[in-house]
């Protein structure tokens, strides 16, 4: 059995795109071969800028740089067709398959932001997903959704049959994301000139992350009640209002924006923070929340879409747009050491149940259903 994997959204390391969907694709490529029958083979179709070695996966590079969205779509919808017949099954690992495929196809859908909150995406990305995702899902034999929330949205918004959709919740690297020693944390804080206590947000800076609500709530705290706030992550699209809000509330001395965080440093950022804040309005899964919990960091996040699947019963979950609720939560996060201790322990327990091995296993089961 030869499985073709469209992994064009696998990003070069060191870019802000090396997060999110890239992270899921990367970890599936790492774990799929071990979960598959011994006689299965995998070929991942990737950008020529990708040179990572994935044992058990053959890389097939596109003839030009597909990190450009327009070039990637041209490859995906036009050039790719000529190479598909070498496979027995095709997996579109991010939303969209070719308009015509001669193979049994599986499509992975991360979220339906482009339908739920279309204003939160750039126009080009929104139009692309609206034009191709539904068609790809209807053509596919199976759909994998990364949360029960996304599955419910596929049924509600696209009227897809529930029995066609397999939920493949995500995992995390248990060797990387775990509580660090006090010595390692102290050394990391010293190296990055970090204060003893601070709050952290870490993800791409873009409208969907709802940072304007967080900044407004933070601004309402008395100055003496604020811990330093770090908004870490690469600049996505339409990030300017975030910096305008920091200036508006005169918070440049309290809020820092270190930019893109290399993957090898992420776990120590989580470990070093007193609380992880993630006020996003919509997520397919919320992987940063899971990773922070796995590091023993208390989490405050939104109570919408998939976030309760990850954080409920561990962290604090709040309505994303209720500024007063976020103000109260920040007060508690600062002053209530008992809550922090309880949330840390509960987060560690819940995070332990999520593994990439299980994600890969569920994905292989979806392939097998597609081949029946």
Q: What is the DSSP string of 275-343?
A: EEEE--S--SS-HHHHHHHHTT--EEEESSTTHHHHHTTTSEEE-TT-HHHHHHHHHHHHH-HHHHHHH
**Mean pLDDT computed over 13-21:** 62
pLDDT digits (tens, 9 = 90+) for 186-216: 999 999 999 999 999 999 898 889 999 999 9
* Distance between CA atoms of residues 329 and 77, nearest Å: 47
The residue ranking higher by pLDDT, 18 or 339, is 339
- 13 — pLDDT class (breaks 50, 70, 90): low
> Which of helix, strand or coil describes residue 238?
coil
Q: How far is CA 303 from the centre of its chain?
A: 17
- Name which CATH class applies to 2-171+355-371: alpha beta
Q: In whole numbers, what is the pLDDT of the chain averaged over residues?
A: 94
Percentage of the chain modeled with pLDDT above 70: 98
At 17, is the pLDDT very low, low, confident or very high (cuts 50, 70, 90)?
A: low
- What residues form DSSP beta bridges with 200? 230, 276
Closest C-alpha among 261, 288, 274 to residue 192: 261
299-330 confidence digits (pLDDT tens): 999 999 999 999 999 999 999 999 999 999 99
What's the pTM value of the predicted model, to 2 decimals? 0.89
Lowest mean pLDDT: which of 56-60, 74-78, 167-171, 242-246?
Answer: 74-78
Residue 6 CA to residue 2 CA, distance in Å, equals 13
- How many Å apart are CA 205 and CA 347, to the nearest integer? 25
Which pLDDT score is estimated for 14?
52
How do the domains of the chain map onto residue ranges? 2-171+355-371, 182-351
The CATH architecture assigned to 182-351 reads 3-Layer(aba) Sandwich (3.40)
What's 78's DSSP letter?
I
pLDDT tens-digit series, residues 97-113: 998 888 999 999 999 99
Q: For the segment 118-170, what is each residue's pLDDT rounded down to a tens digit?
A: 887 788 888 999 999 999 999 999 999 999 999 999 999 999 999 999 999 99
Rounded mean pLDDT, 71-75: 93
> Do 29 and 354 contact (CB within 8 A), yes or no?
no
Task: Please check whether the two domains, 2-171+355-371 and 182-351, share a CATH topology.
Answer: yes
Q: Which residues contact 357 (CB under 8 A, 6 or more apart)?
A: 31, 34, 35, 171
Q: Write down the pLDDT at residue 16.
A: 45
- Three-state DSSP at 194 gives coil
Q: Calculate the CA 361 to chain-centre distance.
A: 19
Which is more confidently placed, 77 or 13?
Answer: 77
How confident is residue 37, by pLDDT bands cut at 50, 70 and 90?
Answer: very high
pLDDT tens digits along 258-269: 999 998 999 999
Is the Cβ–Cβ distance between 220 and 244 less than 8 Å?
no
């Amino acid at each position: 059995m030869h499985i073709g994997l469209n992994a064009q959204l696998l990003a070069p390391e060191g870019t802000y795109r090396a997060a999110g969907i890239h992270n899921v694709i990367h970890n599936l490529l790492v774990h799929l071969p071990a979960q598959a029958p011994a006689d299965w083979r995998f070929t991942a179709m990737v950008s020529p800028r990708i040179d990572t070695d994935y044992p058990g996966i053959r890389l097939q590079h596109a003839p030009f740089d597909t990190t450009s969205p327009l070039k990637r779509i041209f490859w995906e919808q036009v050039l790719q067709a000529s190479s598909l017949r070498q496979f027995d099954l095709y997996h579109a690992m991010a939303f969209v398959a070719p308009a015509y495929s001669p193979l049994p196809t599986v499509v992975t859908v991360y979220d339906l932001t482009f339908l739920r909150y279309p204003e939160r995406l750039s126009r080009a990305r929104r139009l692309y997903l609206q034009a191709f995702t539904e068609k790809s899902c209807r053509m596919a034999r199976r759909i994998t959704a990364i949360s029960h929330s996304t599955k419910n949205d596929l049924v509600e918004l696209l009227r897809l049959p529930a029995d066609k959709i397999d939920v493949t919740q995500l995992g995390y690297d248990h060797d990387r994301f775990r509580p660090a020693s006090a010595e390692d944390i102290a050394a990391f804080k010293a190296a990055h000139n970090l204060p003893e206590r601070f709050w952290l947000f870490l993800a791409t800076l873009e409208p969907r992350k709802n940072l304007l609500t967080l900044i407004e709530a933070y601004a309402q705290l008395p100055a003496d009640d604020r811990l330093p706030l770090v908004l870490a992550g690469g600049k996505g699209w339409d990030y300017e209002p975030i910096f305008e809000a920091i200036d508006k509330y005169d918070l440049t001395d309290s809020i820092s924006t270190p930019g893109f965080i290399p993957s090898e440093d992420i776990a120590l950022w989580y470990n070093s923070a007193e609380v992880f804040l993630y006020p996003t309005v919509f997520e397919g899964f919320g992987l940063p929340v899971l990773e922070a919990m796995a590091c023993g960091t208390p989490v405050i996040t939104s109570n919408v879409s998939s976030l309760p699947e990850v954080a409920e019963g561990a962290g604090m979950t709040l309505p994303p747009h209720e500024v007063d609720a976020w103000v109260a939560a920040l007060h508690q996060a600062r002053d209530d050491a008992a809550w922090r201790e309880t949330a840390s322990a509960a987060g560690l327990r819940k995070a332990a149940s999520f593994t990439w091995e299980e994600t890969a296993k569920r994905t292989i089961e979806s392939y097998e259903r597609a081949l029946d």
